[in-house]
Chain A
Amino acid sequence: MDRRDFLKITGASLGGLVIPSIYGRAVAAEALLTKVDAATKKRLADVALQAARSGGASYCDVRIGRYLRQFVITREDKVQNVVNTESSGVGIRVIANGTWGFAATSDMSDDGIAKAARQAIAIAKANSRLQAKPVELAPVKGVGEVSWATPIVKNAMEVPIKDKVDLLLGVNAAAMQAGASFVNSILFLVNEQKYFASTDGSYIDQDVHRIWAPLTVTAVDQKSGKFRTRHGLSAPRGMGFEYLDAKPADKVELPGGAVVYRDSYDMKADAIAAAKQAREKLTAQSVKPGKYDLVLDPSHLWLTIHESVGHPLELDRVLGYEANYAGTSFATLDKWKSKNFKYGSDKVTIFADKVQKGTLGAVGYDDEGVKTQRWDLIKDGVLVNYQVIRDQAHILGLDASQGCCYADSWSNVQFQRMANVSLAPGKDKLSPQDMIKNVENGIYIIGDGSFSIDQQRYNAQFGGQLFYEIKNGEVTRPLEDVAYQMRTPEFWNSCVAVCDESDYRFGGSFFDGKGQPGQVSAVSHGSATARFNGANVINTARSLG
């Protein structure tokens, strides 16, 4: 996540008046409910396509976007902020003289759009002087006029603000009653109304919804001066407000008693648990550093997958396009070409997709009109593929893009972004309980915590929310001050077991940052509980004297 933008929107560092420009302008709640019809958008798109063709572009795509966001931010018994934002405009990308050009405008008149198309061509022509090789686009067959929508049950934008405020304040009250010193809870809601058209003959209308309900409980022991937090165990999802329905069937009680969630979230119950666990953390046993077998719950493992598999297998990083910012990748092309690079043990099959229902990455088509799909990145431990877009496919000898192109707004150019990247569940029947039975000296980690990884994605360090000691097959007691350090290939090669499909759950990131200027994207990561032997665990407690 981009820390600076998160702090802006939650008001943690700024006053209430400044709304970060990346989220567009503030609007009234009712404005979030309206939609522009597809016929109008098609007419505007044709203006751009026509202007691009007559200006000499060999390819053009147009994205007419309306990006709606709502944030409800509370602490204890107070609503800190309710923000509705809308950002609408047109982004036009062309190829002229074999070079990309991009321009965007919020002026949605015919003249404004045609002018932006001509500007994109002028930029392409100007940059072509420095272009070493012409852009090579993998072919896409036009799909005509089609539409796709996130299969939501309840449109979160239609739920009255009062209901959302009541929900969050109810959650906060429950946490305070259960022993929290402080509680913060937030609703982030996103609706991307995206229309894509291209000279390939596609007119794609998509209505994409996402929801996230993070909470943080803090417990303070004034006497000792100690404080501890426990973040919520929900996941951001590609769902509607039904994610907050708290269906009992979606509750999973883990060995040791912690409760996590599948496809719907009981925010209040989690807040109560968080309050108790935050207090428990104040007196939990500080971990003895050393080698442990780790049992990682999907609420934790998603972030390790994200950082140590998702990012290093983005082809633009591998090639060096992100060298100055996010970095490059240890998973170089020669490793892939060898067809025998053991990224992980034979228990490790990791796939990418933009199609799993309820995930943040799920869309019908990506932001360059490619139908979304699923493909393997690591098969039985061996590196087999990367994530590519249309102008990269030829580098891998592929005849089509995998559909990983995304822009976070109409005003930013689309580029390669991470698809959902998930660890396939084990084929043999195995529950977390059964997995733990065989662990002699281990730590069970639930929830994501601190995370950091180097610029080639070798060396990483991860914390968590809840840590439990495992002794001789039993979850014995809570631990604190736990972080594990890993080297990516060794870590994935130490994976000795993955639980079966019945334990498969999602985590994800709402604000994954990349690029200069920076863009965010949202991505899910599925997995079942997995075991990693002999991990290096450090103790993070320090004394300031």
Chain B
Amino acid sequence: MSIYTEDQAKAILDKVVKLSKADQCSATLSGSNGGNIRYALNSVSTSGNVSDADLAVEVAFGKRVGTATINTFDDASLEAVVRRAEELARLAPENPEFVPAIDKQAYKPSGTFVEKTAAITPEYRAQVAAACIEPCRKDKLVAAGFFSDSQSFSAVANSKGNFGYQKSTGMDFTCTVRTDDGHGSGWVARNLADVSKFDAKSDIRTAIEKARGSVGAKALEPGKYTVIMEPAATAGLISFMMFGFDARSADEGRSFLSKKGGGNKLGEKLFDERVSIHADPWDAEAAVLPWDNDGLARERTPIITKGRVDYLHYSRYWAQKQGKRAVGQPGNLIMAGGDKSTMDLVKGTKKGVLVTRTWYIRMVDPQTVLLTGLTRDGTFYIENGEIKYPIKNFRFNESPAIMLNNLEELGKPVRVGDDESPFVMMIPPMKIRDFTFTSLSDAV
């Protein structure tokens, strides 16, 4: 068993906190049931079920901290894990940046659990794979994809009387469709909490159309272009930029949000007026747990408001040192937008480039958050509001801090998952001027 009820979880955590003889004790109990199916070359390659539960116990004697974890929860195991954490704490060096356990928090539940997603079966996963493979087999196309889903719970407690419990579900789907001669490639992705909103048969059409439409790509000169970025194309760039929103790094002078001469740029207007990003654990489409990894309660937090930096993340230590209030670290990024779809933005574009997704994004210079990466699986030239022809992929060298100043228009935000991002995101399609492509890629 890996999914515990609130009562079961509380009983375990209460025992742990009671067993501890340390100055303070915090514990996290979590568990998940997950399943996945992977397919390539129009055949299923692997599928699996993973089930696991874990208890992490952190204790402190003064400023000495020890952590131990265990995945069995009988009384003897609970005693053993507490004693081990205590033993590690006694051996640990003093941590000068130690902060005491959090006080009792008020957690307001968020809608992270959807019954239908929790009930996904291996048969359902096989149907998703089949929905992608079958139309491709018939049509000289090759599908490769991955569908994964999970239900999980998380419970936190500490010796100051704090307690929280919540269940979550999620599903993530990606599929790449290539023409069998390798000249065209398209992609589709869907990240949802509620599987009933997912339709593989419909989504796969997007990847198929892009695969077919990208055959015979022409080469354009690298340079600065007006681009229509689908939500998945900017999610990675925005997520990377958030690493610069750490208050300590900014105060230490090593972030793009550091101020010349010392301090940080909190409160300064650094982006286009239309850029607003906030975090909200209770967002109807992108709900996340109402606490962060320290157990601190999350709040609705404006991060960027009308281009102004409204939030930097203060760790509990740094908040204490700087005389700030530490709030829960955001688990989602909700970017404001309009009502238009990606294709509506295309319609209003005289000349430009439509980008389906970006790939292998890496930091080039943290001073300016200059990132490099490439377009992939569907890059098209736009003329007079129409997609004219497919073009070869580009490498970009661009800073999201510059990109978000070159905004032309925003569309309707959609939920996006990203392999390399810790956030659930709502990102609009964007029309951006002067986006910097620095070289061509022959990759399809």
Stretch of A136-144, A255-263, A324-332, A471-479 at the chain-chain interface = A324-332
Binding site for A on B (CB under 8 A): 26, 28, 36, 38, 40-48, 50, 52, 54, 56, 58, 65, 67-71, 84, 87-88, 91-93, 95-97, 122, 126, 129, 133, 142, 144-146, 148, 174-176, 178, 182, 243, 252-254, 256, 258-262, 270, 292-294, 359-368, 370, 372-374, 376, 393, 395, 397, 399, 401-402, 419-422, 438-444
Chain A residues near B393 (CB, 8 Å)?
454, 459
Residues A328 and B182 in contact, CB atoms below 8 Å apart: yes
With CB as the reference atom, state the residue of chain B lying closest to A7.
B422
- B442 to A458, Cβ gap below 8 A? yes
A461 in complex: contacting residue of B68, B258, B395, CB < 8 Å: B395
Quote the shortest CB–CB distance from A88 to chain B (angstroms). Answer: 11
Q: Which B-chain residue is minimally distant from A169 (CB atoms)?
A: B93
Q: In this assembly, does A33 line the interface, its C-beta being within 8 Å of a C-beta of chain B?
A: no
Other A-B pairs, 10, CB within 8 Å; known A226-B367, A229-B254, A327-B359: A19-B67, A28-B84, A223-B260, A227-B366, A323-B40, A324-B146, A452-B360, A454-B393, A454-B443, A544-B368
Knowing A25-B71, A456-B443, say if A17 contacts B294 (CB, 8 Å): yes
Considering the complex of A and B, which 10 residue pairs feature the smallest CB-CB distances, nearest first? A225-B260, A459-B441, A456-B443, A323-B144, A454-B443, A220-B253, A324-B144, A15-B294, A542-B368, A516-B146
24 A-B pairs, CB-CB below 8 angstroms?
A4-B420, A4-B422, A17-B56, A21-B54, A25-B69, A78-B96, A80-B95, A83-B67, A130-B126, A220-B252, A222-B261, A227-B367, A228-B367, A324-B40, A324-B146, A324-B174, A330-B442, A413-B48, A452-B362, A454-B443, A516-B148, A518-B419, A544-B270, A544-B368
Q: Is B67 a contact of A540 with CB atoms below 8 Å?
A: no
Kindly state whether residue A127 has any CB partner on chain B within 8 Å. yes
| CB-contacts of A437-478 with B (<8 A) | 450-459, 461, 463
Identify which of A52-60, A188-196, A245-253, A481-489 touches chain B: A481-489
Contact B370 A21 (CB under 8 A): no
The tally of residues in A whose CB lies under 8 Å from a CB in B reads 83
Determine if A540 and B370 form an interchain contact, defined as CB atoms under 8 angstroms apart.
yes
Say whether A222 contacts B262, CB under 8 Å.
yes
List, in ascending order, chain A residues with CB within 8 A of B364's CB: 450, 461, 463, 483, 540
Are A450 and B70 interface neighbours, CB within 8 A? no
A101 vs B213: C-alpha distance in the bound complex, in angstroms? 37
- B47 near A127: Cβ-Cβ < 8 Å: yes
Cβ-defined contact, B438 with A485, below 8 A: yes
Cβ-based interface call for A102 (8 A): yes
Q: Are A227 and B444 in touch, CB under 8 angstroms? A: no
* B142 surroundings in chain A (CB, below 8 A): 320, 323
Q: How far is the CA of A182 from the CA of B145 in the complex (A)?
A: 43
Q: Judging by beta carbons under 8 Å apart, are B88 and A28 in contact? A: yes
In-complex Cβ contact of B365 among A26, A222, A411, A541 (8 A): A541
Q: How distant is A313 from chain B, measured CB to nearest CB, in Å?
A: 16
B41 in contact with A319 (CB, 8 Å)? yes
Give the contacts of A413-453 with B (CB-CB under 8 A).
413, 450-453
- With most chain B CB atoms within 10 A of its CB, the pick from A27, A123, A540 is A540
Tell whether, in the assembled complex, residue A321 and residue B443 are in contact, meaning their CB atoms are under 8 Å apart.
no
1/0 per residue, CB under 8 A from B, across A506-545: the answer is 0000000000111000000000000000001010111110
| Residue in B129, B144, B399 whose CB lies within 8 Å of A320 | B144
Residue ID in chain B nearest A127 by CB atoms:
B44
* Interface flag for A79 (CB, 8 Å): yes
Selected from A17, A226, A320, A454, the residue in CB contact (under 8 A) with B376 is A454
| Shortest Cβ distance from residue B434 to the other chain A in the assembled complex, whole angstroms | 12
* In the bound complex, CA of A130 to CA of B131 (Å): 13
Contact partners of B67 in chain A: CB under 8 A:
16-17, 19, 26, 83
Q: Which of A1-56 contact B (CB under 8 A)?
A: 3-4, 7, 13-19, 21, 25-28
Q: Does A153 contact B (CB under 8 A)?
A: no
A226 to B41 CA separation, bound complex (whole angstroms) = 49
Assuming the contacts A225-B261, A328-B182, A544-B399, asked whether A182 and B175 have C-beta atoms less than 8 A apart, the reply is no
Q: Are B252 and A485 in contact (CB under 8 A)?
A: no
Given A13-B422, A16-B67, A459-B395, A454:B178 Cβ within 8 A: no
- Chain A residues, Cβ within 8 Å of B261: 222-223, 225
| A16–B395 CA distance with the chains assembled, in angstroms | 37
State the Cβ distance, A283 to closest chain B Cβ, in Å.
14
Q: Which residues of B contact A220 (CB under 8 A)?
A: 252-254
Residues in chain B near residue A451, CB distance under 8 A: 362
- CB–CB A540/B397 < 8 A: yes
Rounded to whole Å, the gap between the CB of A486 and the closest CB of chain B is 9
Identify the interface centre among A14, A127, A411, A542: most chain B CB within 10 Å of its CB. Answer: A542
CB contact between A14 and one of B88, B176, B293 (< 8 Å): that residue: B293
Docked pose: A102 CA to B48 CA in angstroms: 8
Contact B52–A181 (Cβ < 8 Å): no
**Interface membership of A218, Cβ < 8 A:** yes
Chain A residues, Cβ within 8 Å of B50: 411
- With a cutoff of 8 Å between Cβ atoms, the chain B residues found around residue A79 in the complex are 92-93, 95
**Within 8 Å of chain B (Cβ to Cβ): is A285?**
no
Closest to A326 in B: B360
User: Which residues of B sit under 8 angstroms from A132, Cβ to Cβ?
Assistant: 42-43
Q: How far is the CA of A227 from the CA of B257 in the complex (A)?
A: 12
- With the chains together, A4 CA to B423 CA distance in Å? 11
B65 to chain A, nearest CB (A): 7
Name the residue on B nearest A182 (C-beta).
B252
Chain A min CB distance to B73 (Å): 13
**Chain A, 65-122, CB within 8 A of any chain B CB:** 77-80, 82-83, 100, 102, 106
Which of chain B's residues has its CB closest to A84's CB?
A: B88
A502 close to chain B: CB less than 8 A: no
Knowing A17-B58, A540-B364, the reply to whether A218 touches B47 (Cβ < 8 A) is no
Given the interface pairs A19-B67, A517-B148, the reply to whether A324 lies near B43 with Cβ below 8 Å is: no
**Least CB distance, A45 to chain B, in whole angstroms:** 21
Please give the distance in Å from B416's CB to the nearest CB on chain A.
Answer: 16
* A165–B91 alpha-carbon span in the complex (Å): 12
Q: Once the chains bind, are B43 and A131 in contact (CB under 8 Å)?
A: yes
CB pair A321–B373 under 8 Å, yes or no, is no
Q: Is A322 an interface residue (CB 8 A)?
A: yes
Q: B46: which A residues are within 8 A, CB to CB?
A: 100, 102, 413
How many Å lie between the Cα of A220 and that of B69 in the bound state?
A: 38
Which interface residue of A127, A220, A322, A544 has the most chain B CB atoms within 10 A?
Answer: A544
**CB within 8 Å for A459 and B422 given contacts A102-B46, A102-B48:** no
Instruction: For the complex formed, measure the closest distance between the CB of B19 and the CB atoms of chain A, giving whole angstroms.
Output: 17
The distance in angstroms between the C-alpha atoms of A27 and B256, with both chains bound, is: 39
**Interfacial chain A residues near B36, Cβ < 8 Å:** 516-517
Contacts of B52 in A (CB 8 A): 21
- Chain A residue with minimal CB distance to B370? A542
A161 close to chain B: CB less than 8 A? yes
Report yes or no: B440 in contact with A161, Cβ–Cβ below 8 A: no
**Residues of B contacting A338 in the complex (Cβ-Cβ under 8 angstroms):** none
A290-337 interface with B by 8 A CB criterion: 319-325, 327-328, 330, 332
Instruction: Check if A543 sits within 8 Å of B368, measured CB to CB.
Output: yes
Q: A220-B253, A321-B40, A459-B440 are in contact. Are A481 and B293 (CB under 8 A)?
A: no
Asked whether, in the complex, the Cβ of A450 is within 8 Å of the Cβ of B362, the reply is yes
Q: Is the CB of A225 within 8 A of B259?
A: yes
- Chain B residues near A481 (CB-CB < 8 A): 365
List the A side residues contacting B366 at CB < 8 Å: 227, 229
Q: For residue B319, give the distance in angstroms from its CB to the closest CB of chain A.
A: 13
Q: What residues of chain A lie closer than 8 Å to B262, measured between beta carbons?
A: 222
Are the C-beta atoms of A182 and B254 separated by less than 8 Å? yes
Q: How many Å lie between the Cα of A18 and that of B287 in the bound state?
A: 21
Q: Assess the A538–B397 pair: CB atoms within 8 A.
A: yes
Contact with B along A134-176 (1 / 0, CB 8 A): 0000000000000000000000000001000100000000000
Smallest CB–CB gap between B254 and chain A, Å?
A: 5
Chain B residues, Cβ within 8 Å of A83: 67
Residues of B near A328 (CB, < 8 A) are 178, 182
Return chain B residues, CB-CB under 8 Å to A21: 52, 54
